[in-house]
Amino acid sequence: MKKNCNFIEKLREVGLRPTKQRVKMCEVLYNRVKTFHFTINDLVKMLSEEMNQKISLATVYNTVHAFEKKGYLKEISIDSHRSYFDTNTSVHHHFFDEDTNELIDCDESDIDKINIRKNIIGKKINSVEVLVRVASDNQNQK
């Protein structure tokens, strides 16, 4: 359970100071078996539950953005009201359950390789990501 040394090193590696807030956030986000998705709101709740002292909202924003910039987190935007962060930072696809607002990772095998025929001159492709929106079968449409 004391993998904090790893986090301290990891943070150093990307040039972020291992302050106690950042280490705590690493624990909350990465000390788990599976990667997962969260909103800023979710994270604030999780942190304030797990910590004895309170953490400032500004710090959560700053730290999440620092993590994102350094490639520790990836933003997945569903619509203007729903923006998630993903601890799985690889390029990968998602299902979005419109009933439960749940974002679900796809494995490599879930979606065949996407073949892009179009080529925009002078531009290179940075990423190709698919969002599959699903909803309950009975209560038709959204």
Partner DNA sequence: CAACAGTTTAGAATTATTATAATGTAGATT
Partner DNA sequence: AATCTACATTATAATAATTCTAAACTGTTG
Q: How far is the CB of 102 from a copy of itself (least distance, A)?
A: 10
One symbol per residue from 76 to 115: x for binding a copy of itself (CB under 8 A), - otherwise; what is it?
Answer: -xxxx--x-----------x-xxx----x-xx-xxxx-xx
Name which of DNA, a copy of itself, none residue 139 binds, using a CB cut-off of 5 to 8 Å depending on partner kind.
none
Classify each residue of 71-84 as buried b or exposed e, where b means 16 or more C-beta atoms within 10 Å of its C-beta: ebbbebeeeeeeeb
Interacting residues toward DNA by CB under 7 A: 8, 12, 16-22, 40-41, 53-59, 61-63, 65-66, 80-81, 83
| Cα–Cα distances in angstroms (integers) from residue 78 to residues 97, 101, 125, 130, 138, in the given order | 11, 9, 21, 11, 23
Q: What sign results for the dihedral spanned by CA atoms 134, 135, 136, 142?
A: negative
Return residues touching a copy of itself (CB under 8 A): 75, 77-80, 83, 95, 97-99, 104, 106-107, 109-112, 114-118, 120, 122-137, 141-142
